Structures are given as C-alpha cells and as structure tokens.
C-alpha cells in the first residue's frame, strides 16, 4: 500500500494498537459504562430514551472505536488503496474478537462485539465508496 503521510500512518497504526489492547482488557467496558451512567445522570431527560434502548454490552463502543480506526486508516492511505486497507482492518477486527480468549481471561468472544467491530469499519467503508463514486462523476 502506498501511504499518504508517515505521521498519519503512525497515528492510525497507534490507534489500532490501542484499540486492540482495549478490546483485550476490561478497561474499555468500565470507561464506557461510566460514560453512559454519567450521561444518564447529567441530562436525564435528553439521554434516557436513547441510552436505555441501546443494546446491552458494549457493541456500540466497539463500533465507535473501530470506526474511528477505520477513518484514521482511510486518511493515511491514498484513495486507490482505501478499499484494501479497510478490508485488512475488517479482517483484523474479526481476529481481535475471535482471539480474545487466547490473549486474556478478562474478556470472551461475543457475537454482539464482533458485529460492532464490523459495523464500525463497514460504515467507513461504505462512506468511502460513496465518496469515491461522487468524485468519479465530477
């Protein structure tokens, strides 16, 4: 893959490493639970309806974390390589979820987390495909 910028690539790679470590630890779910509880306390009337109806667990956190990683990866490679880079990231997110029991006893494989991982990357993938199509027309 041809990289657009070394700094962007290092930042994207670092984000993927941090995301992987978070997914193999119990820290992320603790932080996310604290954020959700804080949002419910601070602005209860605005947040209760949404946060009470969110899926159980932290699949939304997985989607957010891997979606941000996907955005960073997409910004680090040339447009011609975005598809390949995001497919590789998608494969990595599947590996991270499936390999959890091999690397940690704190977390286990969860279908909802795997779906969250995939949704985060797929949203960026679809967005990049739409942007590519629009740019190709102009």
Look at residue 19 and tell me whether its pLDDT is greater than 80.
Answer: yes
pLDDT for residue 63 is more than 60 = yes
Q: Are 1 and 77 in contact (CB under 8 A)?
A: yes
Convert the pLDDT of each residue in 117-137 to its tens digit: 999 999 999 999 998 889 888
How many CA within 13 A on the CB side of residue 108? Answer: 0
pTM of the predicted model over 0.85: no
Token code pair at residue 61: 């956190």
Structural domain spans, the chain? 6-137
The stretch 4-10 carries a mean pLDDT of 82
Residue 5, pLDDT score = 77
Distance, CA of 61 to CA of 65 (rounded, Å): 6
**Cα separation, 49 vs 136, whole angstroms:** 41
Q: Please tell me the predicted confidence (pLDDT) of residue 53.
A: 63
Judge whether 59 and 111 are in contact, CB under 8 Å. no
Does the pLDDT of residue 55 top 70, yes or no? no
């Amino acid at each position: 893959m041809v990289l657009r910028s070394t700094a962007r690539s290092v930042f994207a790679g670092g984000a993927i490493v941090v995301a992987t470590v978070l997914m193999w630890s119990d820290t992320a779910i603790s932080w996310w639970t604290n954020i959700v509880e804080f949002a419910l306390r601070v602005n209860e009337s605005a947040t209760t309806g949404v946060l009470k109806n969110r899926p159980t667990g932290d699949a939304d956190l997985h989607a957010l974390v891997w979606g941000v990683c996907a955005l960073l990866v997409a910004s680090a490679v040339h447009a011609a390589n975005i598809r390949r880079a995001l497919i590789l990231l998608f494969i990595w997110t599947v590996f991270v979820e499936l390999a959890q029991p091999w690397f940690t006893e704190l977390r286990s494989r969860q279908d909802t987390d795997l779906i969250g991982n995939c949704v985060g990357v797929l949203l960026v993938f679809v967005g990049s495909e739409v942007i590519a199509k629009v740019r190709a027309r102009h």
